[in-house]
A and B are shown apart, each in its own frame.
Chain A
Amino acid sequence: MSFSERLKADFSTMTLVLIPVAIAINIVIGQIVSLLKLPVYLDSIGTVLVGVLAGPWAGALTGVLSNTIWGLTIDPNALPWFPVALFIGLVAGLCANAGLFKTWWKVVISGLLIAIVAAIVSSFINVALYGGITASGSSFLTAYLMASGRGVIESVLATSFIFEPIDKVATALLAWFIIKGLSKRYVSRFPRAENA
């Protein structure tokens, strides 16, 4: 199958209808998690879900649109972070293509891979726009590292590499649990059903 044919197959009507639900899942679960005051975000479960069921490009689109809608409706500060969400969906889809969403320990590896990419991309945005300090709690660690004589980029990267893996492994596992909980008949309606 050529690339454009693959894309066409990935963006089936089922995918188009899944994406809005996935974005809503991202946003609403993100808000439930902040309501429960848990030390994670878990705001990309829907993105990972689409990445697994409909391929990396659909996952990437879900990520970008999630941030866009978060920015449009809740906080415009979310808009410049869209590349992070893009890469989360893309890497989740690529991991699923490689068969890394089949058993729980492979899902943990996927979560770690997603975390590494997300940490690198978000560090770039953080340093370029915010100079290392954002409104999130993890910035205290960044500030501590900066004060102890390390460079801005080094400090931000170190902080991201500590906090991202917990969040992204939990995200990947939750997305996997959700897919496991769906019926085989339902999952088979999606273009990349064989990945799950």
Chain B
Amino acid sequence: MPDNLSLYIERDSPLQRLNPLTKLAISFSLILIGFLGPGYWLATLLFICVLVPLSIWGKIGPEFLQRTVRLILPLALFLFVMQSLFYPGGRTVLWRFWIFSVKLEGVQFAYLTATRLMNMVGAFLLLLLSTHPSTLMTDLTRRGVSPSLTYILVSTLQIIPQMRNKANTIIDAQRSRGLETQGSVRARIGALLPLVGPLVFGSLVDVEERAIALEARAFKAKRVKTSLIHVPDSVRQRQVRIGLVVLTLVMIGIRLWPL
């Protein structure tokens, strides 16, 4: 099972130092504009002219491109094969072989969908590669997001690696007792309970203890808590964020009321 948890890469660059909310605003406006904005080439342009330069500015260019391609390429290939052959309403046949025929409309539709998805995955990756989840959550808590939500997200990120280790131990232990984890579907379904049972019950036992620990530390107290980490922000970034929201709304407006 994969072990890397956060996608964050620690680099010193202007992008990494931006306030997390600014990066969040950039990502979401790019995604929304990519899907809802006008024009066939818009998502492609956003990716090449905005996302790639931003990633180079953040000194994470190679990692950004590599991860985007790795996440999107299998899906894109699948989309092209399936949509070019089976897109309903395709008329212009490009070429045919055996009982299949590749239609132009399907290829165009696959390209549009694939570039929009690439833009979406790229925008999320730009945020995740340049922002540590706990920095993001610290900043959002300061802006009024419930500390309970922050607790849930941050502690989940800590629990998952522990639970993966536990799962690997259980898988090894049950295999050494002769549990069949390959072979027929029935054998594999049979393997599910001996693996899931110990893992789930073992993790649920800790819940009660942790709840008592939190209550003893006045987690539910209403007072405003101070934070150890200071996340910088600037007036300029605030203006950029407002600008992005307006731009996104205008793009959606153009889509809804075409002139």
Q: Which residues of A contact B (CB under 8 A)?
A: 11, 13-14, 16-21, 23-25, 27-29, 31-33, 35-39, 45, 61, 65, 68-69, 71-77, 79-80, 129-131, 133-135, 139, 143-144, 146-147, 149-152, 174, 178, 181-182, 186, 189
Contact = CB atoms under 8 A, between A and B. Distances in A.
Given A37-B188, A69-B160, 7 more contacts: A13-B211, A16-B152, A18-B204, A73-B7, A130-B79, A131-B83, A139-B78
B12 interface: no
Nearest to B210: A17
Name which of A27, A28, A149 has the most chain B CB atoms within 10 A of its CB: A28
A174 B159 CA distance: 21
Nearest to B159: A24
Interface in B153-210: 153, 155-157, 159-160, 163-164, 167, 171, 181, 185, 188-189, 191-192, 195-197, 199-201, 203-204, 206-208, 210
Contacts of A69: 153, 156-157, 160
B188 A36 contact: yes
B219 A13 contact: yes
A28 B161 CA distance: 9
B97 to A, nearest CB: 16
B2 interface: yes
B83 A65 contact: no
Nearest to A46: B200
Given A28-B160, A72-B6, A79-B124, A131 B196 contact: no
A129 B189 contact: no
Given A69-B156, A76-B71, A186-B208, A131 B109 contact: yes
Nearest to B88: A146
A33 B191 CA distance: 10
B44 interface: no
B107 interface: no
Nearest to A186: B208
A16 B214 contact: yes
A11 B1 CA distance: 32
A167 B2 CA distance: 24
B82 A178 contact: no
Contacts of A45: 200
A136 B208 CA distance: 38
B192 A33 contact: yes
B199 A14 contact: no
Contact of A36 (B116, B159, B191, B211): B191
Contacts of B188: 36-38
Interface of B: prevailing SS: helix
B208 A38 contact: no
Interface of A: prevailing SS: helix
10 contacts: A16-B151, A20-B159, A39-B185, A65-B156, A69-B156, A76-B124, A77-B117, A131-B110, A134-B75, A143-B86
Contacts of B219: 13, 16
**Nearest 6 A-B pairs (CB), nearest first?**
A76-B124, A20-B156, A147-B86, A143-B86, A20-B155, A17-B211
B82 A139 contact: yes
A135 B160 contact: no
Contacts of A13: 211, 214-215, 219-220
A37 to B, nearest CB: 7
A153 B124 CA distance: 27
A38 B193 CA distance: 13
Name which of A31, A32, A135, A147 has the most chain B CB atoms within 10 A of its CB: A32
B133 to A, nearest CB: 6
B87 to A, nearest CB: 8
Interface string B75-106: 10011001101111000000000000000000
A187 B208 CA distance: 10
